[in-house]
Amino acid sequence: MVEKQPSVEQMVEQIAEPYTGSVMKPLYTATVSVTGGELGHARISGHARSSDGVLDLNLAMPKELGGSGELGTNPEQLFAAGYAACFHGSMVLCARSMRLNVSNSTVTCAVTIGRDPVDGGYRLSAQLSVEIPGSNREQAEQVVAKAHELCPYSKAIHGNVDVTVTVI
């Protein structure tokens, strides 16, 4: 017997339910293992695979960082994809209370890795660009500001990663 999938609206309703507990209530845990690949360094020649096998991809150093340009993604692209998707989902939740439809919106996330002047190591920055067709600028800026407060990625990196959010 095939279990019927809930509708998008039903899923949004479920995740929009308020929570008032005193500790984080786990809802889902993603587990990904990374190996170093043939060169023994995950950023250069690694492989990432999720515990359920849905994510199964090669990692490669981008040409801009001295890589060969071989097919493969990198941690910055993966972080950008996750952040953009999570931010979009947060916008959908925030827009509901404003009776605004943002389902046709686009969130583009650019993640930059660079040298850290504080310790000489590395650090990230992120730029989110949000386009919400059919909304006026004031509505768009309100929903984006609320989403930035709600988004788990925004919360996780607050104070650690410089983030710029722009409404297009």
- β-pairing verdict for 47-50 and 32-35: antiparallel
**Cβ-Cβ contacts under 8 Å for 84 (sequence gap 6 or more):** 107, 108, 109, 128
Joined tokens for residue 71? 């097919």
Distance CA 39, CA 43 (A): 10
Residue 33 DSSP code: E
Is the distance from CB of 102 to CB of 92 less than 8 angstroms? yes
Q: In the predicted model, what is the mean pLDDT of residues 39-63?
A: 95
Domain 31-73 has CATH 3.30.70: no
Q: In the predicted model, what is the mean pLDDT of residues 134-153?
A: 96
Is the distance from CB of 46 to CB of 37 less than 8 angstroms? yes
Q: Above 80 in pLDDT, residue 39?
A: yes
Confidence category of residue 3, pLDDT binned at 50, 70, 90: confident
**Which class would CATH give 1-26+74-168?**
alpha beta
Give ranges for CATH 2.20.25 in the chain: 31-73
Give the tens place of pLDDT for each residue, 84-106: 999 999 999 999 989 999 999 99
3-7, 25-29, 115-119: range with lowest mean pLDDT = 3-7
Radius of gyration, CA atoms only, the chain: 19
Q: In the predicted model, what is the mean pLDDT of residues 71-81?
A: 96
Q: Above 80 in pLDDT, residue 1?
A: no
Give ranges for CATH 3.30.300.20 in the chain: 1-26+74-168
